[in-house]
Amino acid sequence: MCSQLAQIKNSSGSNMCAARIHDYGSPLIIEEIERPVISTSEEVVIKVGAAGLCHSDLHLIAGDWKKNLPIDLPKIPGHEIAGWVEETGSAVSESILKKGDFVAVFGGWGCGSCIYCKRGDEQMCKRPIWPGLSVHNGGFSEYVLVPSYRFLVKIDGDNNLRPEEIAPLTDAGLTPYRAIKKIRHLIVPGKYVGIIGIGGLGSYAVQYAKMLGFGANIVAIDRRDDKLELGAKLGADFTINFEKTSDLRSAVKKITNSNGFDVVLDTVGLASTFNLAIENLNRNGAIVMVGLFGQKTELPIFDTVIKEFQIYGSLWGNYNELREVIELAKKGMIRHHLSKFRLSNVNDAIKLLKNGDIVGRAVVIP
């Protein structure tokens, strides 16, 4: 299809294959479009090696975020990107980056001058640009334009890392890293950490909770046994299938010596998962919310005050945190569970993820 034609055209330097949203709620259209070109000095064109598929892409494609995150259509989604430098703007010297360098694309394209950018949290910029989720196109294509070399992490050194392993680390592997670092001081021996949702994010979260929380007990929580099996393989000490467990409170009490969880990481973000977290939280317990499935939830005021609950939101991760995650990957300390799809089959991946049938992370390879 498009890929063969695009290869012929690419060699003449102008077109590429991409998957775009044309209408909310419809399959992506795989088509040949113009390849991005450098127009300002800091820009870099990346030849996409792989792009991860995130639940946020599903929300975007379905039109769920029309109000919160308005985008102009057609749009190429895909915000977890890794690949190779293809072309650089005039301000990008060879000592910074050169053609062929293997890079991860950091997804928080901040303005560089607001207080959040200045403190290093560009993903929280007041005027944020996220590839594939805002004005810029994302990575479900053969090439992507990155507005500045500042948003690229060069992956150097002697390692066998491949783009399909790096791409998910820019979001699925980064978001839980920041989240777990926020409450790392609470994850000590004898404590219990619940990870709700053992999908893309959860499969990395289990590993960080194990790695960064020395000696704490990790409890993987999901409604699918195959995902719980993956959680256990990646280090979870206990698993709970919340759909198959009739008395969830008793099950949590049994595991946690009647105390409840000291920390819950909610990678789903539904009212029901928040309730699961708060109804099973220990005194002084913390909930870190990273999932974005739902809209609103209720907070039990009495318990929150009396038991001194702590509730955190955590957005993606910053550039330095991405570097740290990549350093862990270089040392072989991160295990990946990937399902690979060709760009021409991206709609199959979307369907499977929507049905909960992807175990680990789906990556699209152009």
Interacting residues toward Zn ion by CB under 5 A: 54, 56, 110-111, 114, 117, 125, 171
Q: Among residues 107 and 285, whose Cβ is nearest to ligand FEH?
A: 107
Residue 125 near which of Zn ion, ligand FEH, none (CB within 5-8 Å, type-dependent): Zn ion
194: Cβ contacts below 8 Å, ≥ 6 apart:
219, 221, 252, 261, 263, 264, 265, 277, 280
Q: What is the x/- site pattern for ligand FEH, positions 307-326, by CB under 6 A? A: ---------x----------
> Shortest gap between Cβ of 75 and ligand FEH (angstroms)?
14
CB 74 within 8 A of CB 22: yes
> Shortest gap between Cβ of 350 and Zn ion (angstroms)?
14
> Shortest gap between Cβ of 56 and Zn ion (angstroms)?
4
Q: Among residues 20 and 79, whose Cβ is nearest to ligand FEH?
A: 79
Q: Among residues 114 and 248, whose Cβ is nearest to Zn ion?
A: 114
Residue 336 near which of Zn ion, ligand FEH, none (CB within 5-8 Å, type-dependent): none
Q: Among residues 2 and 201, whose Cβ is nearest to ligand FEH?
A: 201
Site for ligand FEH contains 133 (CB under 6 A) = yes
Site for ligand FEH contains 54 (CB under 6 A) = yes
Q: Among residues 201 and 343, whose Cβ is nearest to ligand FEH?
A: 201
Site for ligand FEH contains 82 (CB under 6 A) = no
Figure out which of the listed residues 2, 125, 292, 343 binds ligand FEH, where binding follows CB under 6 A.
292
Size of the site for ligand FEH (CB under 6 A): 8
Site for ligand FEH contains 117 (CB under 6 A) = no
Which tokens belong to 296?
Answer: 């609103």
Closest CA to 260 of 209, 294, 303: 303
Residue 49 amino acid letter: G
Site for ligand FEH contains 192 (CB under 6 A) = no
Site for ligand FEH contains 164 (CB under 6 A) = no
72: Cβ contacts below 8 Å, ≥ 6 apart:
135
> Shortest gap between Cβ of 271 and ligand FEH (angstroms)?
18
What are the φ/ψ torsions at residue 22 (nearest 5 degrees)? -105, -40
Site for ligand FEH contains 56 (CB under 6 A) = yes
DSSP for 204-243? HHHHHHHHHSTT-EEEEEES-HHHHHHHHHTT-SEEEETT
Q: Among residues 261 and 341, whose Cβ is nearest to Zn ion?
A: 341
Q: Which residue in this structure is represented by tokens 């350093």? A: 327
Helix (H) or strand (E) holding 7: helix 2-11
What are the φ/ψ torsions at residue 19 (nearest 5 degrees)? -110, 120
Q: What is the x/- site pattern for ligand FEH, positions 167-186, by CB under 6 A? A: ----x---------------
What are the φ/ψ torsions at residue 318 (nearest 5 degrees)? -95, 175
> Shortest gap between Cβ of 119 and ligand FEH (angstroms)?
18
d(CA 225, CA 248): 16
Site for ligand FEH contains 187 (CB under 6 A) = no
**Angle at 166 (CA atoms; ends 96, 3), nearest 5 degrees:** 95
* Strands 361-365 and 338-342, bridge-based pairing: parallel
200: Cβ contacts below 8 Å, ≥ 6 apart:
52, 54, 55, 168, 172, 358, 360, 361, 362
Which own/partner contact pairs does 233-238 have at CB distance under 8 Å and 24+ positions apart? 234/203, 234/206, 234/207, 234/210, 234/335, 234/337, 235/206, 235/207, 235/209, 235/210, 236/195, 236/198, 236/206
Q: Among residues 191 and 227, whose Cβ is nearest to Zn ion?
A: 227
Site for ligand FEH contains 122 (CB under 6 A) = no
* Residue nearest ligand FEH, Cβ-based: 56
Q: Which residues bind ligand FEH (CB under 6 A)?
A: 54, 56, 79, 130, 133, 171, 292, 316
